[in-house]
Structure 1
Amino acid sequence: MDKFLKNPWAVKVVALLFAFLLYFAVHSAQVPTPKKPMDWLFPISTTDEVTLTDIPVKSYYDDENYVVTGVPQSVNVTIKGPTGTVKKVRQVKDFEIYADMQHLKTGRHKVELKARNVTEGVSISINPSVATVTIEEKITKEFPVEVEFYNKNKMKEGFTPEQPIINPRNVSVTGSKTVIDRIENIKAMVNLEGVDQTIEKETKLTVYDGDGNVLPLGVAPSVVKITVPVTSPSKKVPIKLERKGKLPSGISISSLDTSPGEVTVYGPKNVLDSLEFIDGAKIDLSKIKDNTELEVDVPVPKGAHKVSPEKVKVKVKVDKEEENTIKNVAIKTVGLNDTRTLEFLDPKTGNLDITAKGSAAELAKLQSSDIELYVNVADLNDGVHRVNLEVNGPQNITWSLPKNVKVRISSKTSQKESDTDDQDDTDQDHSDTDSQSS
């Protein structure tokens, strides 16, 4: 042994062995533990393996003329190779999994899924590696759009949806003939909860088959504009024109024609039931000098929602004003109950001559039965009163008559007592006369 150690070459060999041992002791902390007993003496490159899930599959085919079904949306991919390279591929995923069907025609085919742009030094296996695909001719067909209402029972009370307006009315669907033949309808859904006026909205379309299942098909356009007119209870009523101002001297209205003659009022049923006509549509007589046509606003009655139309046209015809006297028109009494009586004091006859002014045509049609003179005594007590005269007659006639008349109102009870007192006085007079005669 001493001889061996004294040999310079032996010492050098031992020193070299110790140097190797020290180097591998330090280096072993940086590399995976060798799988074989002697690997630490002769290190080799390490490999790794990893499986990536949900890797998308790209399809290549003539998508202008064909539709392909059966290609999986994603697959699992196993990568093998040097640890560092596998780690990089796992992070960037810069490869592509694809199905090439560009050379295939219509029908059913088995297609191998392939990988490309794979980093050198790694291998890739695909699961599943084969797909059974169906290639069909692509067709485009037009379908009408249907509107379906929901929550109709939750509309505001009394309101009803009318026929919807759809723009565009028809849409195009593209797909395989097999799927297109399954289409039953294309619908736009409209929510009516709380609705009390016309709806305008853009709505997405959904394609359904005969069983009510949604078909995943593209629609062009995918959104349509829907207008749903909403109406409430309505009633047609005439318009009563209210005249203000005074016509210029010497002319009279011969006719007033309203177009349309009736308007539609929308509102709650209880309001419509009590409505007989629309009042308050005004025309200014002071601005009428000749035949003319006016546009008049139609007021919305109290409690109603709206009127249609909101304006009406009034055609006014004028003529030279003339006069005609109607004699002995009886004055009627309004508001006198059965317990009272009325006596006319001025005029005592209860009749009046009144002057009607209007066009020759209107006066020619005027009858005494067309005229109603009356006094309203509903709020008057017993006694003598001056009561305003009121007149009802054709609209295009104006009247010249006294402003009021003089009447006496009496209760029937007091009238009977007065008659009794008069009778007693008469009997007493007769008795005195008889006594004197005897």
Structure 2
Amino acid sequence: MDKLLKSNWFVKIIAFLLALMLYTVLSMETQEQSDRQSLFNSVSKTSETVSGVAITPYFDENKYVLTDLPRSVDVKLTGSSNLMTKALKVDRRMEVYIDLTKMGPGTKKVPVKIRNVPENLKAVPLPREVEVTLHRKQTKQIPILVDIKNKNKLPEGYETGKLSYSPRSVYVTGPEDYIGDIASVRASVDVSNAKDKLESRLPLRAYDSQGNLLDVLIDPKSVNVTVPISKPSKTVPLTLDEKGSLPDGLTLAGITMNPQEVTLTGPSSALDKVSEVSGVNVDLDKIKEDSTIDVDVPLPEGTESVNPKQVQVKVDVENDIKTKTFKDIPIDMRGDTPEQQASFISPPNGTMDVTITGSKKAVDALAASDISAYVDVSNLESGEHTVSIKVSNSKNLQMKKEFTTAKIKIEAIQSSTDSDQQTDQSTSESGDNNGDSGNEGNTTGKPNDNQAFTQSKAEGKTESITEGEN
């Protein structure tokens, strides 16, 4: 063994083997380190695309309005995952923006920029450019229009009243060319199935003449709207009708009714036809002494309700009876129009006698002016007509009319042409310059139509406002 250890060849072989083993070990460690470094680099450095990052524009907002700007872009990030996490979830300072501070009105492609990105993290916007337009800014005051929708869907019998809203106008700000295209700023209120007053705050929209919505700023953005919803109503007077007669030995001293008016509800088309409610009947055959009775109020055709449904009628009677005849009571014409000329055929003078029966005290206190007689000529066409004469007195005493009907002639008054009007005006001016000349210019010597109509009015045919009929 000693000889072997002292042999040069043996020592060389041993040294070679040791060197070989050392090389192998070192080579393996280097490869492992290389593999680990490669794996570390592949794990720590990566790419990620963040979608929908908002763009912040910078421009002079006092002078310009920006349009066509995309809502957002994508951003591609490259770097270590630690840096990405820091940028997106910790710092959150990364900003995507465009700089238009040196740009004037017009359309231009501008670069998309990114700032506040951590060092060693690469950020690239996708796309790198966007096309935008700057417009000169304009503000204009415009009145508001409010539309009422679905009136035909209101409950039966209900109608809308006068619409009110506030404010009446707004300030609209936007691109100069947009402001010039605005045809209206309006809101719509839907009244479907409404039975009570509607009060709401509605958003406002700006539209062009074609009805297209315009993207502008409206200040204020909404309008307060009030729409009254109700059934139409109308208050009209009551007319008392006397039926039968008092027993022998009694006379009617007077009849009073409380209230003397009622309120009707229903469609406007029906209410327009009602000027008074008649048919409040008092049966005098059943009256033996002073009495107060409740009488039903009839509902006129087409109307829906009447309030109150009953009225109190007070009947006063006396034993001291007196009869008095009032001569030549003028018969008024009601319902005539400037386009018509109405005249009496019979009675020819448009007057008649009225005989009043009642207590001596009441009859003595009655004057001719307390008696009202009239005929209704509304809606009568040209020609001759027989109409009823209605008479009332302030004391509601029993009356006997000389005539129950009158014969009326209706004539249409022809409209003058513009030329005739100018001629009449010229003639009138000439007459004014030469003094009043009566019927000057009427070569026939007969009163013209207007004179005849005026004369008819002067003869007692003016409209009476006395209420109550018999």
The alignment's TM-score, normalised by the length of structure 2, stands at 0.51
Amino acid corresponding to residue 77 of structure 2 in structure 1: I
1:22-421 aligned at under 5 Å gives the runs: 24=33, 28=36, 33=39, 46-91=44-89, 93-230=92-229, 232-238=231-237, 265-268=264-267, 276-277=276-277, 304=304, 326-327=321-322, 355-357=359-361, 362-364=365-367, 396=395
SS at match of 2:183: strand
Summarize the Cα distance change of 1:86–1:397 in structure 2 as closer, same or farther, 3 Å threshold: closer
Question: Residue 372 of structure 2 contacts residue 392 of structure 2 at CA under 8 Å; is this kept in 1?
Answer: no
Following superposition, the deviation at residue 211 of structure 1 comes to 2.3
The one-letter amino acid of 1:118's match is: V
State the AA in 1 paired with 2:277: F
Q: Which residue identity does 1:17 align to in structure 2?
A: L
Distance 1:62 1:263 in 2: 68
Query: Is the contact between residue 48 and residue 86 of structure 1 (CA under 8 Å) also seen in structure 2?
Result: no
Mark the CA change 1:397 to 1:266 in structure 2 (over 3 Å): closer, same or farther: closer
Task: Tell me the distance in 2 between the aligned counterparts of 1:109 and 1:219.
Answer: 27
Partner AA of 1:327 in structure 2: K
Which segments of 5 or more consecutive residues in structure 1 lack a partner in the other structure? 35-42, 242-251, 281-298, 311-322, 330-352, 371-391, 400-438
Distance 1:369 1:5, change over 3 A: closer
The CA deviation string for residues 110-160 of structure 1, in whole angstroms up to 9 with x for no partner, is 322111111111111112222232222211112222222322221122333
Distance 1:109 1:324 in 2: 107
Contact 1:108–1:132 at 8 Å: present in 2 too? yes
Which residue identity is paired with 1:80? T
Conserved? CA contact 1:49–1:86, under 8 Å: no
Check the 8 A contact 1:78/1:126 in 2, yes or no: yes
Please tell me whether the aligned partners of residues 110 and 131 of structure 1 are also in contact (alpha carbons under 8 angstroms).
Answer: yes
Distance 2:323 2:261 in 1: 37
* Structure 1 residue identity aligned to 2:220: P
- Distance, in Å, in 2 between the alignment partners of 1:178 and 1:232 is 47
Of 186-195 and 264-273, deviating more is 264-273
Q: Which residue of 2 aligns with 1:380?
A: none
Change (3 A) 1:215 1:265: same
How far residue 96 of structure 1 moved from its aligned partner, in angstroms, is 0.3
Per-residue CA deviation, residues 48-77 of structure 1 (Å, 9 max, x unaligned), is 111111110001111122111232221111
> Which residue identity is paired with 2:26?
L
Matched residue type, 2:168: R
2-structure distance, mates of 1:121, 1:156:
72
Q: TM-score, length-normalised on structure 1?
A: 0.54
Kept after mapping to 2: 8 A contact 1:187/1:206:
yes
- Alpha carbons of structure 1 residues 394 and 217: separation in structure 2 relative to 1, 3 Å: same
| 1:189 to partner: Cα distance | 1.1
Tell me by how many angstroms 1:224 deviates: 0.6
Larger Rg: 1
Secondary structure class of the residue paired with 1:181: helix
Q: Which residue of 1 aligns with 2:29?
A: 20
Q: Distance in 2 between matches of 1:214 and 1:8?
A: 91
Whether the 8 Å contact between 1:237 and 1:262 is mirrored in structure 2 is yes
Alignment correspondent of 1:405: none
1:326·1:368 contact (CA, 8 Å) conserved in 2? no
The offset of 1:168, in angstroms, is: 0.9
Q: CA deviation at 1:11?
A: 9.0
Deviations 1:325-383 (A, max 9, x none): 54369xxxxxxxxxxxxxxxxxxxxxxx96355698x444599999xxxxxxxxxxxxx
Asked whether the 8 Å contact 1:237–1:276 carries over to 2, the reply is: yes
**2:102 aligned counterpart, secondary structure:** coil
Q: For the Cα contact (< 8 Å) 1:324–1:356, is it kept in 2?
A: no
Equivalent residue letter for 2:153: K
Question: What displacement does 1:174 show?
Answer: 0.5
Inter-CA distance 368–168: structure 2 relative to 1 (3 Å threshold): closer
CA displacement 1:159-192 (0-9 Å, x = unmatched): 3334422211111110011111222222211112
- The answer to whether the 8 Å contact 1:172/1:221 transfers is yes
Aligned counterparts of 1:164 and 1:15: Cα–Cα separation in 2: 100
Aligned equivalents of 2:278 and 2:172: distance in 1?
Answer: 52
- Aligned equivalent of 2:286: none
